[in-house]
A and B are shown apart, each in its own frame.
Chain A
């Protein structure tokens, strides 16, 4: 929320810089009420400006919306993936395969001892017979014991660890592997790590996309502003000649930038939510087939507001840059 506060303050500072610099003494009347009325009027007039060229405005809003929708969708999907990985990590289990010569009594006693271990949340002991039954149930294949001399499966203790951290899990596995009754341990974290790495790469990709497409939005809004400035060139010149400050000239354009950014952001959010709604069913079906609890989450409220704030800020910054460039060029003449 710190970043949000800074962003809000930046927008407010950009918008209000004109009135704070007024020094017209007796003519600057009405104080805060007048200041607010002035801003309300400019904000209203700038909304009206959108309707002067509705097609152009819609095109700009569409471009902003679609540019922002892509990284936003990626962020939402990555957030869902991240939560899934976290939930898997929370269920991290270590399988301890006992030596074949470990008796049932010794195996059961070991599991009782391990239950009081600090790093163990819970455990389940599977005797050789139970291991065989579970294997047959899961695989659907009956083991022809009559052809074998004895049950080839070892007894297993399935330990649910009290930690989700991969490093801690590995340490616990190494410790349990040293037990004399244990033949082999299995902690299958590799694929979780791979998925996590993919998600992390995805996050970098999303950040890069945000940066690139933010630049696209900046240029789109700046170009729109350039056309609007050209359209209102004489108005700007006259306003400068009658004593309009740069901040006064800039203000309606900043509001326009704000509206472009805000409406573009709303379009992006709507597009992403529609996309999520559209893929929700198919993703749930695939997830069910893999017996996974993965589902595409809706956008969080915090991300929703961040997206709108970000797009609005982009619009304001683009407008500020373009008008400032124009005024600098006008002064240089």
Chain B
């Protein structure tokens, strides 16, 4: 479903964000992307979105070589992705409902189906009843959950999350992770960038470890906090 083939990303100043990264993630697979700050986690996620393209190598998602994907097909491709951003990326002048409904609106859903799906997504993240609130009135954790609801509302085939539990307490983090697991069990390919090693260790999933743009390992977690 997601395939990185010898991907290198260098910037004009000579800085290299990713170096010969290769891995594959199958449909229904959940993987964690770990590494220190600046290791290249966000760059790797941006290449799947894609808001950046590799300097060399290929990124293939759902059969699309993203570098060759024409601009006119980009919106359609992005509708098959769900993305949870580290900084939430919510629209401050729109209600919780409108924020979560955004991917459905751009996809052309009618109001009835939109309402049903948004409420279901908010229910999953424990925010049902807060549809009319504005993001600024929510706590950081609640805003993060709104971001998660927006990412899953379109039932994406690929779910990307950049530090999705960064602002959440352990209990809620666990609930969100359970939600991601449910999505992977339903067939979605889930890739989560996180530096919360304790949280990562609780789940038996594949681990992609990045260090200075290089992929050090692509193994499964043993189930303990030995990562």
Chain A residues engaging chain B, CB cutoff 8 angstroms? 19, 21-24, 27-30, 34, 37-38, 234-235, 237-246, 248, 331
- Name the residue on B nearest A242 (C-beta): B103
CB atoms of B108 and A24 under 8 A apart: yes
Whether A242 touches B102, Cβ cut-off 8 Å, given contacts A19-B108, A23-B76, A29-B108, is yes
B109 within 8 A of A: yes
CB A25 to nearest CB in B, in angstroms, measures 10
- Name the residue on B nearest A28 (C-beta): B108
| Residues of chain A within 8 A of B150, CB atoms compared | 242
- Name the residue on B nearest A249 (C-beta): B106
CB B52 to nearest CB in A, in angstroms, measures 9
| Residues of chain A within 8 A of B83, CB atoms compared | 241-242
CB atoms of A242 and B110 under 8 A apart: no
CB B164 to nearest CB in A, in angstroms, measures 15
Q: Is the interface of B mostly helix, strand, loop or mixed?
A: helix
CB B108 to nearest CB in A, in angstroms, measures 4
When each residue 87-129 of chain B gets 1 if its CB lies under 8 Å from chain A and 0 otherwise, what string results? Answer: 0010100000000001110111111010000000000000000
| Residues of chain A within 8 A of B154, CB atoms compared | 242-243
CB atoms of A30 and B110 under 8 A apart: yes
CB A278 to nearest CB in B, in angstroms, measures 43
How long is the Cα–Cα vector from A291 to B102 in the complex, in angstroms? 69
CB atoms of B110 and A238 under 8 A apart: no
B51 within 8 A of A: yes
- Name the residue on A nearest B78 (C-beta): A243
Whether A34 touches B103, Cβ cut-off 8 Å, given contacts A241-B49, A242-B79, is no
Chain B residues engaging chain A, CB cutoff 8 angstroms? 49, 51, 71-72, 75-79, 81, 83, 89, 91, 102-104, 106-111, 113, 150, 154
CB atoms of A24 and B49 under 8 A apart: no
How long is the Cα–Cα vector from A34 to B113 in the complex, in angstroms? 12
Q: Could you say which of B75, B111, B113 contacts A243, with CB atoms under 8 Å apart?
A: B75
CB atoms of A239 and B106 under 8 A apart: yes
How long is the Cα–Cα vector from A237 to B51 in the complex, in angstroms? 10
Whether A241 touches B51, Cβ cut-off 8 Å, given contacts A23-B76, A235-B91, is yes
Q: Could you say which of B49, B51, B103, B113 contacts A29, with CB atoms under 8 Å apart?
A: B113
CB atoms of A34 and B108 under 8 A apart: yes
Whether A243 touches B91, Cβ cut-off 8 Å, given contacts A23-B76, A24-B76, A37-B111, is no
CB atoms of B110 and A29 under 8 A apart: yes
| Residues of chain B within 8 A of A331, CB atoms compared | 71
CB B55 to nearest CB in A, in angstroms, measures 15
| Residues of chain B within 8 A of A235, CB atoms compared | 91
How long is the Cα–Cα vector from A37 to B81 in the complex, in angstroms? 26
Whether A24 touches B107, Cβ cut-off 8 Å, given contacts A241-B51, A243-B76, A245-B75, is yes
How long is the Cα–Cα vector from A311 to B142 in the complex, in angstroms? 46
How long is the Cα–Cα vector from A239 to B101 in the complex, in angstroms? 11
How long is the Cα–Cα vector from A28 to B77 in the complex, in angstroms? 15
Q: Could you say which of A38, A238, A241 contacts B91, with CB atoms under 8 Å apart?
A: A238
CB B46 to nearest CB in A, in angstroms, measures 10
